[in-house]
Structure 1
Amino acid sequence: MELKLNLQFFAAEEKTEEATPKKREDSKKKGQVAKSQDVNTAILMLFVFGLLYIIGGFLKDIFTGLYQNAFQEYMHWDLTEQNVYQVFIESIIEISKALAPIMGVAIVAGIASNLLQVGVMFTGEPLKFDLKKIDPIKGSKKIFSARALVELVKSLLKITLIGTITFSIIWINKNEILMMSQKSVDVALAFFGETTVIMGLASALGLLLLSVLDYTYQKYDHEKNIRMSKKDIKDETKNMEGDPQVNSKIKEKQRQMSMQRMMSEVPEADVVITNPTHYAIAIKYDEDKASAPIVVAKGVDFIAQKIKEVARANDVVTIENRALARSLYQESDIDEPIDEQFYKAVAEVLAYVYQLQRTV
């Protein structure tokens, strides 16, 4: 028996269920999402080298112009504070012109790659200081974990892939590279710049292909880490909806309060219509408050008996009308006027009640 209970306990604790939407939202708030850093790197390289391919001539003109100014103009200036300041400012401006587009594209690429993977997310949870992050025991476990092995294999694949791509491009262009010593500086710069950009774009595409596989693994690993046990799901449901026993007691208390309030209105009713055992509906007509009679209380079985008891104790007239009592119960709401279809029948009952009161 004890063994069976233990097995049931472990089965309940085993994380075999998919994460609930609330669990996913809580994980996202903590910054725990499926994300591959290789996707960021690949998109960043693709954007930056694509930009370099487009504005390569513009960048060459800036840096060659800066080089020419340094050796043809600045070298002939006197070494004064004003001249040094001017050289510094002009150099900063020229370098900024070259770096601004690259930095802008890098920022756009970083934002785009994150939006592509996790969407819009702002959280400071990962930045909070946590002593567990510097725990040497947990750190050593991570070093020898399955995830660390996967990261090692992934790093070796990246090195091999990018190394193969760059070496292949250099090998294909080896003859042109050897002949560059016979070419002019402009031609050599253009050739090496173009070759470098091609290597960067090819490496980015290769890394992007590898990052798709890495993102698939990261998503699988994330889903595995946020899995829940049956007990976790029950606890979450209980926390969201409240303890069923507590809810039951609250609802029972609400029913009691509603019944007490309803019973307190019965003594003010003009008539109680019954069927006579199962249904009881207390009606009150006050032309100053409403244009039609109002249902102040209604009930079946036990509640119906209580309504009749309160009515008898307070000398409220009770009229038996089976069809009308059943219809009023089904079609009318408490504290609401009766439906137009019951005007005539209820008016006849009230007229009879008023006649009885006058004779008394």
Structure 2
Amino acid sequence: MQLRLDLQFFAGEKTEKATPKKRQDERKKGKVAKSQDVNTAILLLLSFIILFVFGGYMKNIMTTLFQHTFTEYIHWDLTPNTVYQVFIEGTIETAKLVAPIMLVAIIAGFASNLMQIGFLFTTEPLKLDLKKIDPIQGAKRIFSIRALVELLKSLFKIVFIGAITFSTIWIFKDDMMMTAFKDTESSLAFFGQTTMIMGFAAIIALLFLSVFDYTYQRYDFEKNMRMSKQDVKDEYKNIEGDPLIKSKIKERQRQMAMSRMMSEVPNADVVITNPTHFAIAIKYDEEKSSAPYVLAKGVDHLAFRIKEIAKAHEVVTVENRPLARSLYDKVEIGDTIPEEFYQAVAEVLAYVYRLDKKVK
């Protein structure tokens, strides 16, 4: 009894790597190994590159909007038309300001996911699943080992990125104090430069951390994807079919093929026998084939059935031990006989045709 329980335990233990079918099925459900840190790092990197390249263009839009606001809009009367015009113009200018960053954010999202998991489109995660709102399952997810690991990772990232940001500010603290004595243009340039330095430093750190996070996500994904030996067996049965059912199907197919073969015996010109162990039904039809071909063949009990059917339908039976054995071994049902048997089979057919003329 204890041995049986041990075997069941080991059979249920997930020790096997996931099969390609399971990987494909899970991928269709949207379950893949990916790191959000990679997405975040690439998004921030491209966003800061856009800020660096188009910073002057964005600054001009902002300053123009402020100048227009405090030189023209401030003198307008407050009416529905003026409010509508200010709203439209402000929206257009804001769209010009935000459009490059939004476009890059979309590109970064696609690029980071393609790098990790390739192209994947599925609506499976959007389907209603009551398990997702199950409070018991939710509590298990909140207090799981994975949740604890994610919490520690988040705290570590906050401390790590915060330390880099604080260090950058500390390095430029003296220059930051001196901005009080500089004009607006110089102050904006200084804060823009400092922000870019902090941003790229944080991005480099986040990219460094994302490598480890992606490695962990791959490891955790592979661990959760493992299968037990019983799972592998069940999957094989689902793909290939139950062996018992398969054997029954094959038996049924064999019986059907046997029935078709037996139905062809009455159409034979001759049945060549051993005489007891082998029986080969031969047919020669110039319209179908240039050489005689085998309609049916059998050994022992099957040979006896072929001879019985031939006798019932007055098909001539000829005894030729070596020819019957050779034809059974070398020619399949429906195939024409090889050239090496032409003469022997021709003699048999000639004898049959002569016999048929005498009978007629």
Could you tell me the TM-score, scaled by structure 2's length? 0.92
Letter in 2 for 1:171: W
Structure 2 SS opposite 1:196:
helix
Deviations 1:211-260 (A, max 9, x none): 11111111111111121111111111111111111111111111111111
Worse-superposed segment, 277-286 or 193-202: 277-286
State the partner residue of 1:255: 254
State the partner residue of 1:191: 190
State the partner residue of 2:165: 166
Letter in 2 for 1:12: A
Unaligned runs of 5+ in 2: none
Structure 1 SS opposite 2:174:
helix
Tell me the CA shift for residue 331 of structure 1: 4.4
Please give the residue correspondences for 1:197-212 in structure 2 after superposition, counting only pairs within 5 Å: 197-212=196-211
Worse-superposed segment, 16-25 or 342-351: 342-351
Tell me the CA shift for residue 272 of structure 1: 1.7
Please give the residue correspondences for 1:23-172 in structure 2 after superposition, counting only pairs within 5 Å: 23-172=22-171
CA distance in 2, matches of 1:170, 1:82: 46
Tell me the CA shift for residue 155 of structure 1: 0.9
Tell me the CA shift for residue 103 of structure 1: 0.3
Tell me the CA shift for residue 341 of structure 1: 5.1
Structure 2 SS opposite 1:282:
strand
Structure 1 SS opposite 2:176:
helix
State the partner residue of 1:4: 3
Distance 1:332 1:111, change over 3 A: same
CA distance in 1, matches of 2:318, 2:331: 18
- Native 8 Å contact 1:263 1:297 kept in 2: yes
CA distance in 1, matches of 2:234, 2:273: 47
Tell me the CA shift for residue 193 of structure 1: 1.2
- Native 8 Å contact 1:53 1:194 kept in 2: no
Worse-superposed segment, 277-286 or 167-176: 277-286
CA distance in 2, matches of 1:61, 1:344: 101
Q: Could you tell me the percent identity over the aligned residues?
A: 65
Distance 1:191 1:290, change over 3 A: same
Alignment: residue pair count? 359
CA distance in 2, matches of 1:352, 1:23: 64
CA distance in 2, matches of 1:226, 1:263: 52
Tell me the CA shift for residue 322 of structure 1: 4.6
Tell me the CA shift for residue 330 of structure 1: 4.5
What do you get for the CA RMSD once the two structures are aligned? 2.0
State the partner residue of 2:355: 356
Tell me the CA shift for residue 327 of structure 1: 4.4
Please give the residue correspondences for 1:254-293 in structure 2 after superposition, counting only pairs within 5 Å: 254-293=253-292
Tell me the CA shift for residue 174 of structure 1: 2.0
Please give the residue correspondences for 1:219-234 in structure 2 after superposition, counting only pairs within 5 Å: 219-234=218-233
* 2:261 aligned with 1:244: no
Could you tell me the TM-score, scaled by structure 1's length? 0.92
CA distance in 2, matches of 1:300, 1:109: 72
State the partner residue of 2:315: 316
Letter in 2 for 1:309: E
State the partner residue of 1:306: 305
Letter in 2 for 1:148: A
- Native 8 Å contact 1:271 1:353 kept in 2: yes
Structure 1 SS opposite 2:32:
coil
CA distance in 1, matches of 2:77, 2:69: 13
Letter in 2 for 1:91: G
Deviations 1:17-56 (A, max 9, x none): 1111111112112222212211111111111111111111
Tell me the CA shift for residue 110 of structure 1: 0.8
Worse-superposed segment, 53-62 or 274-283: 274-283
Unaligned runs of 5+ in 1: none
CA distance in 2, matches of 1:40, 1:286: 73
CA distance in 2, matches of 1:321, 1:112: 77
CA distance in 2, matches of 1:65, 1:275: 107
